[in-house]
Amino acid sequence: MVDWLRELRRTDHLAYAKCVPRIRRLAALGHELRRPEADVLRDGIHELRAKKGRVQYRVLYFFSGQNVAVLDHALTKEGKIPDADIERAIRRKKAFERDPARHTYEEELSNG
């Protein structure tokens, strides 16, 4: 996830500038964030949505506890989110739940 954001920042600053505010809104609103910015997929996996032009950016995430959102991975969506991406997010959610400290990364995001 972090690598994806870094690469997006390097290759498409405008897309990065669309995605980071969404991540910040998710951090601020948690479970209260709704469509069109966020949606539930299945099995506790949610998607955060950002759009630049015709390109749809998606960040898959899940919640741990009441207010903690765990960003799992991101993709550029051209149609339906592939089941393989949702299954990967479910596996990562289970791994996180088994050992949260091992799967935690914190870094302040910047617009610049």
Give the pLDDT confidence score for residue 70 in this predicted structure.
78
Query: Which of these ranges, 57-61, 67-71, 96-100, has the smallest mean pLDDT?
Result: 67-71
| 11-42 pLDDT, tens digit each | 999 999 999 999 999 999 999 999 999 999 99
Contact 31, 43 (CB under 8 A): no
Q: 8 pLDDT exceeds 70?
A: yes
- Give pairs for 22-30: CB < 8 Å, separation 24+: 22/48, 22/49, 22/50, 22/59, 23/48, 23/59, 23/71, 23/109, 24/109, 26/61, 26/69, 27/69, 30/63, 30/66, 30/67, 30/68, 30/69
The mean per-residue pLDDT over the stretch 40-64 comes to 92
Residue 67 binned pLDDT confidence (cut-offs 50, 70, 90): low
Q: 90 pLDDT exceeds 60?
A: yes
Cis peptide leading into residue 100 (ω within 30°): no
Query: Which of these ranges, 48-57, 66-75, 102-111, has the smallest mean pLDDT?
Result: 102-111
